């Protein structure tokens, strides 16, 4: 087999990003943590990327990945500064363009600039699975589902052992109501990472979409356990479903979620979804507005996610989507 490489890719393969082996080791630790997509992964990765930069301030690749981690940790000002630093050091670095694309997409709502930067990132590094992954999210948000699926499949092809990439593909299938394919992809993710909480959560959504509420609830309960819910809370959720069905479960989930919000203020998406599922549209819209004011990353998929379907026709939500330049 003869592999054809673009000049940019061939150049990147031969590039040495740092001469400091300790800095490179710190960078690799950060990549592993950030690529795990686990709770707290971005915060843990930030420490290692910052250590790599302390050891080598000219390490452009560490600056680029630090930018992405900062954005994931909802620290946009620092993310932008690191992306700009990475590009100043090396404007041929695909990962730096990927970080800038994410900022343009999720912070600036500059869709043309976002797509341009993602395409440049992929042109410079055709093997960056994260670029395809995040580009797929952008394409979903723009309603270009066939292209989003192609990008998701490419991300998985590049990183077939990552549970996160199989979960992402499952999420794409859920977004287009292809629940059987979603279940297949999510079960593959669980073969790779049996305790990967997002896989269980998305599998619950897929089962629910397929009309299998009991199976869905079992996955939601596994998610609750894996994300640190107490045994008492998990038992209360199970009893709520047994006694009052899905509505009872969601009311109990909402009670627990709002208690968590009082402590951490990091689960607005969960609360919005629960209000939407309960048919409490005014409350859901109020939480969407709060997320808009904070420029929450997850607003991008409000327009297509089945979990938000009950809200999508609401004029207030349509107005919010117009404000972030999302397609109707």
Residue 247 tokens, joined: 């509505």
Common-topology check for domains 7-132 and 169-175+182-262: yes
Mean pLDDT of the 115-124 span: 98
pTM of the model: 0.89
Is a pLDDT exceeding 80 seen at residue 176? yes
SS3 47: helix
Is a pLDDT exceeding 50 seen at residue 1? no
**How high is the pLDDT of residue 327?**
66
Q: Tell me, which fold does domain 7-132 have in CATH? A: 1.25.40
C-alpha–C-alpha distance, residues 162 and 159, integer Å: 6
Residue 91 tokens, joined: 């404007």
Lowest mean pLDDT across 17-26, 27-36, 211-220, 278-287 = 27-36
Q: Which CATH class is domain 169-175+182-262?
A: mainly alpha
C-alpha–C-alpha distance, residues 216 and 210, integer Å: 9
C-alpha–C-alpha distance, residues 249 and 316, integer Å: 27
Report the half-sphere exposure of 182 (CA within 13 A, side-chain side). 23
In tens, the pLDDT along 243-299 reads: 999 999 999 999 999 999 999 888 999 999 999 999 999 999 999 999 999 888 888
Instruction: Give, to the nearest 10 degrees, the angle between helix 21-34 and helix 41-55.
Output: 170
Domain boundaries of the chain, sorted by first residue: 7-132, 169-175+182-262, 267-328
Contact between 85 and 70 (Cβ < 8 Å):
no
Instruction: Give, to the nearest 10 degrees, the angle between helix 76-89 and helix 94-106.
Output: 150
């Amino acid at each position: 087999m003869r592999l054809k490489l673009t000049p940019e890719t061939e150049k990147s393969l031969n590039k040495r990003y740092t001469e400091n082996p300790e800095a490179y080791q710190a960078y690799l630790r950060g990549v592993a943590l950030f690529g795990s997509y686990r709770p707290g992964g971005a915060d843990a990765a930030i420490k290692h990327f910052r250590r790599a930069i302390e050891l080598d301030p000219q390490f452009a690749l560490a600056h680029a990945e630090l930018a992405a981690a900062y954005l994931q940790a909802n620290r946009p000002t620092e993310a932008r500064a690191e992306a700009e630093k990475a590009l100043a050091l090396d404007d041929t670095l695909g990962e730096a363009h990927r970080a800038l694309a994410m900022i343009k997409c999720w912070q600036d709502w500059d869709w043309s600039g976002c797509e341009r930067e993602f395409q440049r990132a992929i042109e410079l590094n055709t093997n960056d699975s994260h670029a395809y992954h995040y580009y797929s999210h952008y394409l979903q948000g723009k309603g270009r589902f066939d292209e989003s699926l192609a990008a998701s499949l490419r991300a998985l092809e590049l990183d077939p052992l990552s549970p996160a990439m199989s979960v992402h593909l499952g999420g794409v299938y859920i977004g287009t109501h292809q629940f059987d394919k979603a279940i297949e992809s999510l079960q593959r993710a669980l073969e790779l990472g049996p305790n990967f909480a997002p896989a269980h959560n998305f599998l619950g959504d897929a089962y629910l979409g397929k009309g299998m509420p009991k199976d869905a609830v079992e996955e939601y309960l596994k998610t609750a356990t894996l994300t640190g819910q107490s045994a008492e809370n998990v038992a209360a959720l199970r009893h709520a479903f047994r006694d009052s069905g899905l509505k009872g479960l969601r009311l109990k989930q909402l009670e627990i979620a709002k208690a968590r919000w009082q402590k951490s203020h990091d689960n607005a998406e969960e609360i919005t979804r629960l209000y939407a599922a309960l048919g409490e549209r005014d409350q859901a819209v109020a939480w969407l507005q709060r997320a808009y004011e904070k420029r929450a990353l997850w607003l991008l998929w409000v327009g297509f996610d089945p979990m938000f379907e009950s809200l999508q026709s609401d004029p207030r939500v349509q107005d919010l989507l117009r404000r972030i330049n999302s397609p109707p």
